[in-house]
């Protein structure tokens, strides 16, 4: 069984946020080790600080060095820095950003070396991670650049809703000039592929939201909907992708229309994430579609306001681990079925 368990690489996130707290809370339940073998990229001193702060006595990490085989029955921790670190829960600092990046880079290196199978990232502060060597708006853009992916899609997932965004972490003032027919079509294609390959949906139904209020009201409130979004949807249909829209975002979520679709593509961050977090906050997962590996994260940020108070809820983080493992298995099953046509033919004959 240990040979078949998925190796989950986990970044610590911001050391002054709730990252290590939700990590420790998640692995206090040993049932998760039946599913996966976790490896956290942090330091023994950082983990010890939070264990003491949380007054946790019945849990400890299994410490390993780079290249060592992780224990399949424990939560493993590989140190990616050894120095003493000043931890100030609830405070954004350059040091917190530095060690968040070190953790992310260590996990990325482990992916390259195939030491882990999937990646789960704890929240970072998008401001304090910025430096001369790290100039990315967030995890998604870093991973996209680090692993040579020309396109990726941030997809928020819950039990009842999947929402992707065309433009991710960018100022609202830049959104209208950043959307294009080609860009929207590429995101639709990524979304369609991930729904089939990673979620096992045979013929996905995709709803595309408009950019302007009332989806532009036939050009009265903006021409982008008719001149950019509609042609992109039509091109998707020519590729046999079942995409519809553009829908006015307010009524679409307000009247429950999202329940009729397998996924929704929003034009910008808050257009998609505000309704998603209103409906699913604390139980949703952020999945980066379009990467060659599986990456998930919880649906919340560093939560500085409750950091260090032992109040953080680990439910979203736990679901991020479960979803990463589930998508990894579905993706492997999809590749097995589609890589050898003979297997599909035999399977159909056996079923008939």
Q: What is the pLDDT of residue 346?
A: 47
Per-residue pLDDT of the chain (352 residues; tens, 9 = 90+): 455 799 999 999 999 999 999 999 999 999 999 999 999 999 999 999 999 999 999 899 999 999 899 999 999 999 999 998 999 999 999 999 999 999 999 999 999 999 999 999 999 999 999 999 899 989 999 999 999 888 899 999 999 999 999 998 889 999 999 999 999 999 999 999 999 999 999 999 999 999 999 988 888 888 999 999 999 999 999 999 999 999 999 999 999 999 999 999 999 999 999 999 999 988 899 999 999 999 999 999 999 999 999 999 999 999 999 999 999 999 999 998 888 665 544 444 444 4
Q: ω into residue 301 within 30 of 0, thus cis?
A: no
- Sheet of strand 62-64, all strands in order from the earlier edge strand to the far edge: 62-64, 76-79, 36-42, 6-11, 118-121, 294-298, 285-289, 153-157, 162-165, 263-266, 205-209, 242-247
- How many whole angstroms separate alpha carbon 329 and alpha carbon 84? 39
**Judgement on whether residues 138 and 8 belong to the same structural domain of the protein:** yes
Helix intervals (H) in the chain: 19-27, 44-53, 94-112, 139-146, 175-178, 181-197, 224, 230-238, 249-254, 269-280, 315-339, 341-351
**Judgement on whether residues 10 and 117 belong to the same structural domain of the protein:** yes
Query: DSSP string spanning 303-350?
Result: -TTTTTTT----HHHHHHHHHHHHHHHHHHHHHHHHH-HHHHHHHHHH
Q: Which of 284, 307, 325 is the last residue of a domain?
A: 284
**Judgement on whether residues 332 and 270 belong to the same structural domain of the protein:** no
- How many whole angstroms separate alpha carbon 241 and alpha carbon 186? 12
pLDDT digit string, tens, across residues 83-122: 989 999 999 999 999 999 999 999 999 999 999 999 999 9
272 pairs with which residues across the strands? none
CATH number reported for the structural domain that contains residue 223 in this entry: 3.40.718.10
Cβ atoms of 80 and 111 closer than 8 Å = no
**Judgement on whether residues 2 and 120 belong to the same structural domain of the protein:** yes
Instruction: Judge if pTM exceeds 0.85.
Output: yes
- How many whole angstroms separate alpha carbon 42 and alpha carbon 48? 11
**Judgement on whether residues 168 and 202 belong to the same structural domain of the protein:** yes
Give the tokens for residue 328: 């990894």
Report how many domains make up the chain: 2
**Judgement on whether residues 163 and 124 belong to the same structural domain of the protein:** no
**Judgement on whether residues 145 and 157 belong to the same structural domain of the protein:** no
Residue 26: name the closest of 328, 318, 337, 260 by CA: 318
**Judgement on whether residues 19 and 67 belong to the same structural domain of the protein:** yes
**Judgement on whether residues 31 and 122 belong to the same structural domain of the protein:** yes
**Judgement on whether residues 267 and 144 belong to the same structural domain of the protein:** no
**Judgement on whether residues 51 and 167 belong to the same structural domain of the protein:** no
**Judgement on whether residues 208 and 300 belong to the same structural domain of the protein:** no
Q: Which of 284, 309, 339 is the last residue of a domain?
A: 284
Q: Which of 241, 257, 284 is the last residue of a domain?
A: 284
Q: Which domain holds residue 273?
A: 152-284
- How many whole angstroms separate alpha carbon 295 and alpha carbon 8? 10
Cβ atoms of 85 and 46 closer than 8 Å = yes
pLDDT digit string, tens, across residues 223-269: 999 999 999 999 999 999 999 999 999 999 999 999 999 999 999 99
């Amino acid at each position: 069984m240990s040979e078949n368990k998925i190796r989950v690489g986990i970044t610590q996130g911001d050391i002054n946020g709730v990252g290590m707290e939700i990590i420790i809370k998640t692995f206090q339940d040993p049932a998760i080790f039946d599913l996966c073998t976790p490896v956290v990229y942090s330091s023994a001193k950082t983990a010890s600080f939070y264990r003491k702060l949380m007054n946790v006595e019945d849990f400890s990490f299994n410490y390993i060095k780079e290249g060592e085989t992780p224990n399949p029955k424990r939560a493993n921790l590989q140190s990616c820095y050894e120095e003493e670190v000043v931890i100030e829960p609830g405070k954004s600092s350059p040091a917190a950003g530095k060690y968040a990046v070190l953790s992310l880079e260590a996990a990325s290196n482990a992916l390259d070396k195939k030491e882990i199978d999937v990646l789960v990232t704890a929240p970072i502060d998008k401001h304090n991670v910025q430096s001369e060597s790290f100039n990315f708006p967030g995890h998604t853009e870093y991973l996209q650049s680090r692993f040579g992916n020309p396109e990726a899609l941030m997809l928020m997932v819950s039990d009842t809703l999947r929402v992707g965004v065309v433009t991710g972490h960018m100022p609202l003032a830049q959104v209208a000039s950043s959307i294009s027919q080609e860009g929207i079509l590429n995101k639709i294609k990524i979304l369609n592929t991930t729904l089939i390959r990673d979620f096992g949906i045979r013929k996905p139904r995709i709803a595309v939201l408009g950019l302007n209020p009332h989806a532009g009201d036939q050009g009265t409130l903006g021409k982008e909907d008719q001149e950019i979004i509609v042609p992109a949807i039509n091109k998707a249909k020519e590729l046999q992708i079942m995409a519809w829209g553009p829908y006015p975002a307010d009524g679409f979520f307000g009247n429950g229309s999202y329940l009729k679709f397998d996924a929704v593509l929003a034009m910008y961050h808050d257009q998609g994430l505000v309704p998603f977090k209103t409906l699913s906050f604390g139980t949703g997962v952020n999945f980066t579609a379009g990467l060659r590996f599986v990456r998930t994260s919880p649906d919340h940020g560093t939560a500085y306001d409750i950091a260090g108070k032992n109040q953080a809820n680990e439910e979203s983080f736990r679901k991020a681990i479960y979803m990463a493992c589930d998508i990894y298995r579905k993706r492997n099953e999809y590749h097995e079925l589609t890589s050898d046509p003979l297997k599909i033919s035999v399977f159909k004959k056996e079923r008939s």
